[in-house]
Amino acid sequence: MAKDILFKVYDLRRENPKSLASPPSKITSHRMSKEEWARTGSAASAVVSGPSKVTKSRRKGRKTAKKPIKKAPRTAAGVLRCTLDEVMCLHCGRTGDERECGAKCSREFRKVNFLPSSAIDIRGPGELGYGAWTAPNVTIKKGQWLEEYLGDLRPLPTNLDAAARSSDSLYRIWIPETAIIDAEKAGNWTRFINSSCRPNVKPWGEFVGKRHVVLFQALRDIGPEEELVFQYGAKWFEKAGFLCRCGVSEEAHMPGEKGKGKGNEGEKGEKGGKDKKRKSAKKI
């Protein structure tokens, strides 16, 4: 069971660290409700338990293809498991069918790449609520993987548009054909990353240890006491029903509007080699 502790926040001038008044849970691994996954008929909730076999029908003596049994996943690992042959592990470079790749890759990748929790301060509340900042003396290099987006794993709705409209949560990132990660009630520090039209980090959909992960990566070198921000995108703001107040222009604006919120500085030239295949994770 994931740990359930409070977030410590600093006011914007780093005085008086305190816990959030009505806190989301601070977790170190995804949460999921077995019941919720068992209830939904989402295709994404289905895990094929074995290869389809051709068996003889007893009644008519005809050969029929036995449909693979689909089981709702019972753990977060089950939801996020990906064994497609063509996917490559970001840690070991092996593809989905190779046995050596697994939980060990996830553990090692986390240990080697991610920032220690002391590197990030949650500060606020400010104009955009709370935000995630680099702590004093912390610098981040362009290209560094920072952390994984964690939250409650929810089944994909059958009609994504309708469900996206009906959900009030503004903390959701969608892993295509797999699940929605909702960090409204539980997450790690990445749930506090605000939106900016001049982003310095970006979430990517990746695979580590045969598992779908959403990972934040630095788009440029980042200095001490800088706020970490990514571009949520115009669709997110349309759904949320308000405009971006990231400060690139004095007025509130819709990202992508002419002259406002267009700058994705730092991102160009970031994708190289196998990154061509990398998918940016979508906030919905």
Ligand X SMILES: C[S@@+](CC[C@H](N)C(=O)[O-])C[C@H]1O[C@@H](n2cnc3c(N)ncnc32)[C@H](O)[C@@H]1O
Judged by the rule CB under 6 A, the positions of this chain that interact with ligand X are 128-131, 170-171, 191-192, 194-196, 240, 244-246
Shortest CB 26 distance to ligand X, Å: 13
Can you tell me which of 44, 89, 140, 193 binds Zn ion, judged by CB under 5 A? Answer: 89
Cβ-based nearer residue to Zn ion, 72 or 246: 246
101 binds, among ligand X, Zn ion, none (CB under 5 to 8 A by kind): Zn ion
Six token digits for residue 146: 């920072």
Cβ-based nearer residue to ligand X, 25 or 106: 25
**Closest by Cα among 108, 33, 91 to 210:** 91
Contact 205, 170 (CB under 8 A): no
Shortest CB 235 distance to Zn ion, Å: 14
Three-class DSSP labels, 149-197: CCCEEECCCCCHHHHHHHCCCCCEEEECCCEEEECCCEECHHHHCEECC
Cβ-based nearer residue to Zn ion, 180 or 197: 197
Q: How many CB atoms lie within 10 A of CB 22?
A: 4
What is the C-alpha to C-alpha distance for residues 196 and 71, in angstroms, rounded to an integer?
40
Shortest CB 184 distance to Zn ion, Å: 22
- Ranges within 173-202 binding Zn ion (CB under 5 A): 197
H or E stretch covering 94: none
**Phi, psi at 44, each rounded to 5°:** -70, -20
Cβ-based nearer residue to ligand X, 142 or 198: 198
What is the C-alpha to C-alpha distance for residues 64 and 148, in angstroms, rounded to an integer?
44
Tell me the residue length of the chain: 284
123 scored as a contact of Zn ion (CB under 5 A): no
Cβ-based nearer residue to ligand X, 46 or 243: 243
Contact 65, 183 (CB under 8 A): no
130 binds, among ligand X, Zn ion, none (CB under 5 to 8 A by kind): ligand X
Taking CB atoms, the residue at the shortest distance from ligand X is: 129
Cβ-based nearer residue to Zn ion, 35 or 251: 251
Helix runs in 29-159, H state only: 34-39, 76-80, 103-113
245 binds, among Zn ion, ligand X, none (CB under 5 to 8 A by kind): ligand X
105 scored as a contact of Zn ion (CB under 5 A): yes
244 scored as a contact of Zn ion (CB under 5 A): yes
Cβ-based nearer residue to Zn ion, 91 or 278: 91
What is the C-alpha to C-alpha distance for residues 222 and 200, in angstroms, rounded to an integer?
7
Amino acid at 17: P
Shortest CB 12 distance to ligand X, Å: 12
Shortest CB 133 distance to ligand X, Å: 12
DSSP letter, residue 96: T
Burial code of 55-81, b = ≥16 C-beta within 10 A, e = fewer? eeeeeeeeeeeeeeeeebbeebbbbbb
Shortest CB 244 distance to ligand X, Å: 4
105 binds, among Zn ion, ligand X, none (CB under 5 to 8 A by kind): Zn ion
| Interface ranges with Zn ion (CB under 5 A) | 89, 91-92, 101, 105, 197, 244, 246, 261
